Structure formats: structure tokens, C-alpha cells
Amino acid sequence: MAEGELRMSDKERRREALMHQVDEGVLSLVEASERMRVSYRQAKRIRSRWKKAGVYGLVHGLRDRPSNRRLDGDKIAQALELYRCHYSDFGPTLASEKLAERHEVFIHRETLRRALHRAHLWVSGRAARKHRRRRARRECFGELVQMDGSHHGWFEDRAEKCCVMVMTDDATGRALGYISPQETTRAAFWALRLWIERYGVPAGIYADKKTVFFPPPRPATTQEKRSGSGPVTDFGRACHRLGIELIPAHSPQAKGRVERKNGLLQDRLVKELRLQGISDLRRANVFLPGFIEGLNKRFAVAPVSAVDAHRKAPSPEVLNEVLCEEYARKVQNDYTLAFEGQCLQLEPQVGLPPPRTSVSVRRRFDGTLAVVYHDQPLRFTQGPTTRPRPVAMHRPRMGCGNDAL
């Protein structure tokens, strides 16, 4: 190779210039060693190689030669073949993990990434993003929990699309999830209940402005004014009773931690469900806690403060009364209520509300009903199904219109 074709790094070119200055007597070898930031003994070795081979003595001996630590070509070919057969839509990081876990083929993710690039099996790239300022994490575990529903084809073409309700702690990144057909109040209640039973009651929840969490603009009802909550949804009412501050997020980027967790799950959970052969909600919800706990062990961080901001979880009976759907109904003159085609008969008791008074009907998770007036439960019996009202037949009035003339 001609001298002009030799590839040299910036450090090697600076050393070449210093060796020329030492040859010309401009610098001593001691001064050159200080500028090269090496010891005098190392400078003598560099000087010896310079005198013996010129610039070739300054270049690393393995330049333009294959590394002694390179992987065997057969092993890389095996990894690429397994990638084509089983992991064609996996990223290099996840693919390297699955190759080691399922096939005992150990290859570093960056080595696999370069091999996939050379084989034109993986092309990475990101679109330009708007500049945003990163918000610092909260200091305490449980101080703020971000919540979001992620709609995705979690079972790919094996089942219909569904939604994963994801909760992510802002301070640590610990997550929890629950899969449901849609992003509903019931699904949000299930996810919140799982979090409370495991960690306790968080101080705040950060969610978007969907009607599951926040109501459209409307005046507060009499009961909302009495409780001091203002206009709320069923989820907001439950948070108010539990003492959880419900904070609205004004953009997806504002709750970026849970959005990034959604992206991680959409990449890894979909593929793991495929590998496990899971195609239904029941089995997926059995598998999900262990899978997310594995992610928590890998990606969660320690909080700045050792203080746990969670409050003690209430009893299951209290949670049943709080995490429920609530409807307003009026008491009729015969002390009955009409609810979803059913007749609820209030029994004689102390604190019975007068007729035409509004009471609350709560439907718990197990499907049972409760009638509440001023936060006090009322005894009632479930009567026969109410009959639909007869439809009035339209009769034309006589003596009206042109036909009467």
C-alpha cells in the first residue's frame, strides 16, 4: 500500500507532526511525550517505531485487518437464518435476547445490528422531532402515576384489536397493565384496583382528556356540588373519594413516560404473545403481570427519595363501593326506582328519602347493585322487570288541513 493511501487517525497525524519536530530539533522527546500525553518510556517506543518504519510505525498494527475477537462467520450466518425464520420484525436488541434465550446463540446486539444492515434485513431511522424540554421525574414512588389506554393489534391477525390500560410510575418507571376489549371506565377501574392492591393508593394520576377520565364541559350536578368534586366522570368520582389528584395531560408528549412504555409493549408484548401462542384476553391477562414485572426489573430506576408516597390500600369491600359505576335515579311515589329495565323497591327504614328525591344506584364489579342516599346504603328488593310503555298511535285530527275543506 502506498504511503498516500494509508488511513490515519487524527491522533496518529498529530504524532507524525511531533516526530518531525523532534527530528528537526524543535522539540525534545520529553516535551513531545507531554504533548502526546504519554510517559517518556512510551514516547521512546513511539520514536523507535518512527525511525524504523516511518508513518507505518505510528499506525495501529491491526489497521485494515480483521479483529482477532471477531465472531465466526458460520455463527453470524446461523443468527441471520434464525432471524429470517422467526424474528423478521424484531429489532436487533430484542432479537439478540431471543436468540440467546431460545436458541443459545449468543451474539451482541450491535454485532447483530451491523450484520442485519449488511444483509439488508434491518433499516433503522427516526423522523425529525419537535424540540421539547425534558421534565424531571417526581422524587417519590407513588407521587404521580401516568395512565393511558394503548389501542393496538396485540394479537395481530389472530384476534380482534383490543386495549391495554397501562399505568407507569413517574419516579421509577415501574409499570402495570390490564388488557380489555376497549378503553372503558371498567377497564380503568380494573387497572387502578390492581395498582392499589399491589402498591397502595397513589397521590396523583396523570391522564389524557378522554371522557373516561374527564367529562365534557357541563354544570355540576346537585350531588357533585354536595361532595365538592365538581363535574366528574365515574373514574374521577372514584379518585376524589380515594383522595387521588386527577391531573389532565394537554398533549401525548406531556405523559411521555407512559407513551414510551406503550411503545415498548407494542414492540415486545406483541411478539411475546405470538411466541407463547396466546390469542385471547383471559390467557393474556394471566401472562401479562409476569411479563411486565420482567420489564420492571430491567428498566425501572430507583427513586430520588426513599419515601413511598402511596397510602395504605383500603379493604376490598371499600374498593367495591368506590370503584363502581354510579347512576342517578329518582324515587317514585311508591318508593320504587327504575334501573335498566328493572324495578327496585325500597324497604321501610330509617333515613328513607322522600318521593321525587334523587338517589344513586351503584353497579359493582361483580354485577350486584347498591342504592345510596347521602352516602348511606338503602335496603331494597329487586322487583319484576318493568314493562315498556305502550307506543301511542297517531290519529289525525279532524277538520284540519286541506282535506277538511
Establish if 330 belongs to a structural domain: yes
Establish if 40 belongs to a structural domain: yes
Kindly list the distances between the CA atom of residue 359 and the CA atoms of 16, 200, 322, in Å, as whole numbers in the listed order: 90, 30, 16
Cell of 312: 395504605
| 92 Cβ contact partners less than 8 Å away, ≥ 6 residues apart | 109, 110, 112, 113, 116, 122
Establish if 319 belongs to a structural domain: no
DSSP string, 128-197: -----PPPPPPSSBTS-EEEEEEEE-TTGGGS--EEEEEEEETTT--EEEEEESS--HHHHHHHHHHHHH
Domain co-membership, 151 together with 250? yes
Buried/exposed 216-234: b ≥16 CB within 10 Å, e otherwise: eeeeeeebbeeeebeebbb
Count of domains forming the chain: 4
pLDDT, residue 147, reads 95
Between CA 26 and CA 9 the distance in angstroms is: 23
Establish if 242 belongs to a structural domain: yes
Strand order in the sheet with 245-248: 175-180, 162-169, 145-152, 204-207, 245-248
Which residue among 283, 299, 315 closes a domain?
299
Domain co-membership, 164 together with 258? yes
Domain of residue 82, residue span: 73-118
Establish if 241 belongs to a structural domain: yes
pLDDT, residue 207, reads 94
What backbone torsions phi and psi does residue 193 show, to the nearest 5 degrees?
Answer: -65, -40
Between CA 393 and CA 372 the distance in angstroms is: 38
pLDDT, residue 60, reads 81
Domain co-membership, 274 together with 179? yes
Domain co-membership, 42 together with 83? no
pTM: 0.68
Domain co-membership, 45 together with 86? no
Cβ count near 138 (within 10 Å):
21
Between CA 150 and CA 162 the distance in angstroms is: 8
Domain co-membership, 31 together with 169? no
Domain co-membership, 328 together with 276? no
Domain co-membership, 43 together with 154? no
Establish if 317 belongs to a structural domain: no
Domain co-membership, 44 together with 109? no
Domain co-membership, 337 together with 293? no
Residues in the chain: 405
CATH assignment of the domain containing 280 = 3.30.420.10
The one-digit pLDDT tens for each residue of the chain (405 residues) are 444 467 788 898 999 999 999 999 999 999 999 999 999 999 999 999 999 988 888 888 777 777 777 777 888 899 999 999 999 889 899 999 999 999 999 999 999 998 998 888 887 766 555 656 667 889 999 999 999 999 999 999 999 999 999 999 999 999 999 999 999 999 999 999 999 999 999 999 999 989 899 988 888 777 777 777 778 899 999 999 999 999 999 888 888 899 999 999 999 999 999 999 999 999 999 999 999 999 999 999 999 999 999 999 999 989 988 999 888 899 999 999 998 888 999 999 988 999 999 898 998 888 889 999 988 899 999 876 655 554 444 444 444 444 433
Establish if 380 belongs to a structural domain: yes
Domain co-membership, 273 together with 164? yes
Establish if 398 belongs to a structural domain: no
Between CA 76 and CA 71 the distance in angstroms is: 7
Domain co-membership, 53 together with 171? no
